[in-house]
Amino acid sequence: MPRRAASAPPPKGLTRPVKVCVRVRPVLEREVEHGTYHGCIAIAHERVYISTEDKPVLIGSKDDPLPEGIRAYPGFDGLLDQDASQEDVFQSAGKEAVDGVLLGLNAAIMAYGQTSTGKTHTMVGDRTRPGLCLKAAGHLFSEAALCGSQIEVQASFLQLYLNHITDLLVADGHERSLKLREVVGEEATDTKVEGLSERLVQSMDDVAAVLEEGNRRRQQACTALNASSSRSHAVL
């Protein structure tokens, strides 16, 4: 979601200030084994189709009347089905935001969904299938190098857990809660986290190391749906 910085030039080439993309994760092996999987969501004809009943979504042509219990939701900026790769997700949901940063804009990429829907995989991924965080960093560094820009990139990684903000890049960060404060400027008001550390990053590998270090410190707890589901929000 690019947002124009106070001193930024007029944006060029950005289609919309806010984009909303939908990603449908594939069925999990344990869901097949336990017989608990129902295809209750489908992407077709530039729409998301959702079943409001305990039955699969079966969609015909675009002009066919919807079956009872099926609802259609058009209007999304990107639709990514179960076969979408991490690169597909970046091209649809991340690249334009990074390009906006290179034009002097502020941008944020957020993942929203209930537990076990694939938010961590989409945002973080792993070394073989990097998620949006790493792909965005890689694109930022490569584009800056191509245009000969001299830039310095600092990374911070915080956790919001039980209404407390903690620094994930400090060994004892969980022992103290950081405070938010507003910084009022001549043209805009910004929000800062007092005392949040910054780490110089110069490559995608550096960002991967920051992610790995911070994720080790995140508060983890088991849930009925996802044994490794994080019970906190994290912001890189």
Q: Which residues are annotated as a binding site?
A: 113-120
CA–CA separation, 207 and 213 (whole Å): 10
CA–CA separation, 20 and 213 (whole Å): 29
CA–CA separation, 219 and 12 (whole Å): 40
Neighbouring CB atoms inside 10 A of 99's CB total 19
CA–CA separation, 11 and 104 (whole Å): 8
Q: Which residues fall in the annotated binding site for ATP?
A: 113-120
Q: Which of 129, 127, 124, 83 is nearest to 228 (CA)?
A: 124
